[in-house]
Copies of this chain bind each other. A is one copy, B any other.
Amino acid sequence: MHMTVETAIKAFASTVPPAVILAAGEGHRLNGVNGGMPKPLTPVLGMTLLERAILSCKEVGVLEFYVVVGYHAHILIPYLSTLEQKLSVLIKPIENPNWREGNGSSALSAAPYINRPFFLLMCDHLFDPAILGLLLAAGKNTSDCLLAVDRHPDHVFDLEDATKTRLDGDVIVSIGKNETLFDAVDTGLFLCQPSLFEALRVAGDKGLHSLSAGFAELMRSREFRAVAIGELFWFDVDTPKSLSRAKRALLQNLSKPDEDGFIAHYLNRPVSRRISELLVRTPISPNGISLMSFAIGIVGAVMFCMGEYTWTILAGLVIQLASIVDGCDGEVARLRFQSSRFGGWFDTIMDRYADTAVVAGVSFGYWLAHPHPAVWLGAIFALTGFIMASYTKKEFMIRYQSKPPGGLFGRLIKRDLRILAIMLGAIANLPYEIMLLVGFLSHVGIGWMLLKGHKQVQ
């Protein structure tokens, strides 16, 4: 193991359980798409399945990993050593020569290393790390093994191939691929107790080497419980078709319905997702994407300065592109587990600067045809509205330690709509007029927020 001393200390000092990741199978159904590479190395949006599984666990604080390998172990073991250094975590590869027997045999090969609760997961499952958080929370009040289950089987892709469970309250009473009467679907994410190993041994003695057989032993003593994941995202990648569906689902899961305005949600996100899908495979950093969006905005602003209709239309389209790309920094950051407070801060500040450039460009273009100082007073009026709409919200959050007054009005003064309006104005050859209008609405929105804040909470 080639990790730093600090990583080792952090991992062993952590109160978060370690994770056992099963990556021993052949995954022959994906052979066509990954050119004969072992399944754990299948790339999904710029990252192998294995790396994504490890980083998903790291999101909830897991720093210690036991990865069971079998098929093509000679390729996977050096790869794990690279990952250990790259991700600053502790990874112990465990080779299971009997991996062909079944995944229960693979899980059992981690037994010598584990004497406390641990996460158990399959390397080919994509999931929202919040599910591990749910398992952790549920694990505080029980010493049973826990399985995260999806209680909406109708949402599950390729249900036929999925492992199903039957429940009695939250106790799992039956598990298997061929269950016909079932309440929930196995997501492949577990929080286990060391008692699982004993159950796997008992099942193995009966000649049964699947995980399900081990859990069936636990079910007898009713020591196996389900934790419902609600609407959280998970996806099992088995076939080329499920791989491409998984990518789409992962991208769709990036939206931030709480924060996004209407336009961002329905117009910008569907496009930005496709751009993010390309960008995530390049080495460009999320902050680099913020800068890229800013630079595109500046190009649009300069085009507006020309003051000619053709340039104005182009400028409108370019700033709309900038607004779309503005969503990619966060998307790529989330896809790569690189979200940072600095990134969010930097992005927001760059947005305000880009707005400033757009206002200056639009006004300059208009001034060429209408050389009157009132044009510039209008520019200052609109610009203040744009920046202050956001400023007023931020100030509210600091003073009241809560979200600013939302509602329809709150969404109307967001950047996505503002840029779209100016773009449409540009197409109608009225960018300056529309900018003034949107500026006016922003000031009205600020007044509305002040009124709301004054009434609601003193």
User: Footprint of B on A, CB under 8 Å?
Assistant: 340-342, 344-346, 348-349, 352-353, 356, 359-360, 363-364, 367, 371, 373, 376-377, 379-380, 383-384, 387-388, 390-392, 394-400, 446, 450, 453-454, 457-458
Contact = CB atoms under 8 A, between A and B. Distances in A.
B360 A364 contact: no
A297 B407 CA distance: 33
B360 A377 contact: yes
A395 B350 CA distance: 12
A450 B359 CA distance: 23
Q: How many copies of this chain sit in the oligomeric assembly? A: 2
A426 to B, nearest CB: 19
Given A376-B379, A379-B376, A380-B356, A342 B394 contact: no
A306 to B, nearest CB: 14
A392 B349 contact: yes
Contacts of A364: 373, 377
Contacts of A380: 356, 359-360, 379-380, 383
A303 to B, nearest CB: 16
A383 B391 CA distance: 14
Contacts of A399: 341-342, 344-345
Contacts of A458: 340-342
A395 B395 contact: no
27 contacts: A341-B399, A341-B400, A341-B458, A342-B399, A342-B457, A342-B458, A344-B399, A345-B392, A345-B399, A345-B450, A345-B453, A346-B454, A349-B388, A349-B395, A352-B384, A353-B384, A353-B388, A356-B384, A359-B380, A363-B376, A364-B373, A373-B376, A376-B376, A380-B380, A390-B391, A391-B391, A394-B394
Contact of A387 (B340, B363, B367, B388): B388
